[in-house]
Amino acid sequence: MTVSGLPPYDDTNIFARILRGEIPCRKVFENEWALAFHDIAPQAPIHVLVIPKGKYCSFADFSAKGSEAEIAGFFRAAGEVARDLGLEDPGYRVLANMGDHGGQEVPHFHLHLFGGRSLGRMVPAG
Protein backbone atom coordinates (compact mmCIF):
# COMPACT_ATOMS: atom_id res chain seq x y z
CA MET A 1 0.00 0.00 0.00
CA THR A 2 1.28 3.47 -0.81
CA VAL A 3 0.78 6.45 1.47
CA SER A 4 -0.45 9.79 0.10
CA GLY A 5 0.33 8.86 -3.48
CA LEU A 6 4.03 8.24 -2.87
CA PRO A 7 5.58 5.12 -4.35
CA PRO A 8 6.71 2.23 -2.14
CA TYR A 9 10.07 2.65 -0.40
CA ASP A 10 12.93 2.72 -2.90
CA ASP A 11 16.05 1.04 -1.51
CA THR A 12 18.27 2.86 -4.00
CA ASN A 13 17.46 6.37 -2.70
CA ILE A 14 20.47 8.43 -1.65
CA PHE A 15 19.72 8.32 2.09
CA ALA A 16 19.29 4.53 2.01
CA ARG A 17 22.74 4.40 0.45
CA ILE A 18 24.14 6.71 3.14
CA LEU A 19 22.58 4.47 5.83
CA ARG A 20 24.26 1.43 4.26
CA GLY A 21 27.60 3.26 4.21
CA GLU A 22 27.80 3.18 0.40
CA ILE A 23 28.01 6.98 0.23
CA PRO A 24 29.89 9.12 2.75
CA CYS A 25 28.26 11.79 4.89
CA ARG A 26 29.42 14.31 7.48
CA LYS A 27 27.85 12.53 10.43
CA VAL A 28 26.93 14.45 13.56
CA PHE A 29 24.93 11.80 15.45
CA GLU A 30 23.88 8.17 15.27
CA ASN A 31 21.95 5.83 17.53
CA GLU A 32 19.65 2.86 16.98
CA TRP A 33 16.81 5.07 15.73
CA ALA A 34 18.38 7.88 13.77
CA LEU A 35 21.33 9.15 11.77
CA ALA A 36 22.07 12.87 11.47
CA PHE A 37 24.48 14.48 9.02
CA HIS A 38 25.20 17.82 7.39
CA ASP A 39 23.19 18.66 4.26
CA ILE A 40 25.36 18.63 1.15
CA ALA A 41 23.91 21.99 0.03
CA PRO A 42 23.33 23.92 3.27
CA GLN A 43 20.66 26.63 3.24
CA ALA A 44 21.65 28.06 6.64
CA PRO A 45 24.93 28.25 8.59
CA ILE A 46 23.86 25.00 10.25
CA HIS A 47 21.74 22.66 8.11
CA VAL A 48 21.55 19.12 9.38
CA LEU A 49 19.35 16.26 8.20
CA VAL A 50 17.99 13.70 10.65
CA ILE A 51 16.75 10.44 9.18
CA PRO A 52 15.19 7.36 10.78
CA LYS A 53 16.97 4.03 10.45
CA GLY A 54 13.76 2.38 9.22
CA LYS A 55 12.52 2.34 5.63
CA TYR A 56 9.94 5.14 5.52
CA CYS A 57 9.57 7.19 2.39
CA SER A 58 7.97 10.29 3.92
CA PHE A 59 6.53 11.96 6.98
CA ALA A 60 3.14 10.56 6.01
CA ASP A 61 4.58 7.05 5.83
CA PHE A 62 6.56 7.33 9.09
CA SER A 63 3.74 8.88 11.10
CA ALA A 64 1.28 6.25 9.85
CA LYS A 65 3.43 3.12 9.98
CA GLY A 66 6.32 3.79 12.39
CA SER A 67 6.16 1.92 15.69
CA GLU A 68 5.79 3.90 18.91
CA ALA A 69 9.41 3.07 19.71
CA GLU A 70 10.64 4.24 16.29
CA ILE A 71 8.68 7.49 16.45
CA ALA A 72 9.70 8.28 20.01
CA GLY A 73 13.29 7.24 19.41
CA PHE A 74 13.55 9.29 16.24
CA PHE A 75 12.05 12.52 17.59
CA ARG A 76 14.05 12.30 20.81
CA ALA A 77 17.18 11.83 18.72
CA ALA A 78 16.33 14.88 16.59
CA GLY A 79 15.92 16.99 19.72
CA GLU A 80 19.22 15.68 21.07
CA VAL A 81 20.99 16.55 17.82
CA ALA A 82 19.70 20.14 17.97
CA ARG A 83 20.77 20.39 21.61
CA ASP A 84 24.22 18.96 20.89
CA LEU A 85 24.69 21.45 18.05
CA GLY A 86 23.97 24.29 20.49
CA LEU A 87 20.82 25.34 18.65
CA GLU A 88 18.32 25.43 21.50
CA ASP A 89 19.34 28.93 22.48
CA PRO A 90 18.86 31.10 20.36
CA GLY A 91 16.60 28.68 18.48
CA TYR A 92 16.28 26.86 15.21
CA ARG A 93 13.80 25.56 12.64
CA VAL A 94 12.62 21.99 12.09
CA LEU A 95 11.12 21.19 8.69
CA ALA A 96 9.91 18.12 6.84
CA ASN A 97 9.06 18.34 3.15
CA MET A 98 6.32 15.89 2.20
CA GLY A 99 5.52 14.78 -1.33
CA ASP A 100 5.26 16.81 -4.48
CA HIS A 101 3.72 20.02 -3.20
CA GLY A 102 6.02 19.88 -0.17
CA GLY A 103 9.04 19.82 -2.47
CA GLN A 104 10.37 16.50 -1.16
CA GLU A 105 13.30 15.33 -3.28
CA VAL A 106 14.70 12.36 -1.38
CA PRO A 107 12.13 9.61 -0.71
CA HIS A 108 13.42 8.61 2.74
CA PHE A 109 11.75 10.53 5.57
CA HIS A 110 13.98 13.24 7.00
CA LEU A 111 13.86 16.32 9.16
CA HIS A 112 15.84 19.41 8.27
CA LEU A 113 17.35 21.30 11.22
CA PHE A 114 18.24 24.88 10.29
CA GLY A 115 20.09 27.27 12.57
CA GLY A 116 23.01 29.58 13.11
CA ARG A 117 21.21 32.78 12.14
CA SER A 118 17.80 34.37 12.46
CA LEU A 119 15.62 32.56 9.92
CA GLY A 120 12.64 34.86 9.66
CA ARG A 121 9.11 33.68 10.13
CA MET A 122 8.94 31.05 7.39
CA VAL A 123 11.01 29.48 4.63
CA PRO A 124 10.95 31.72 1.52
CA ALA A 125 9.15 30.34 -1.51
CA GLY A 126 11.53 28.56 -3.87
Burial of 17 (0-12, 13-18, 19+ CB in 10 A): middle
Q: Answer yes or no whether residue 58 interacts with ligand 5GP by CB under 6 A.
A: no
Known active-site residue 110: yes
Per-residue binding letters, 1-40, with ligand 5GP (x by CB under 6 A): -------------x--------x-x-----------x-xx
Q: Which is nearer to ligand 5GP, 43 or 69 (CB)?
A: 43
Distance CA 45, CA 60 (A): 28
Is 85 within 8 Å of 114 (Cβ atoms)? Answer: no
Nearest distance in Å: CB 67, ligand 5GP: 23
Distance CA 10, CA 3 (A): 13
Q: Answer yes or no whether residue 105 interacts with ligand 5GP by CB under 6 A.
A: yes
Which positions are catalytic?
Answer: 110
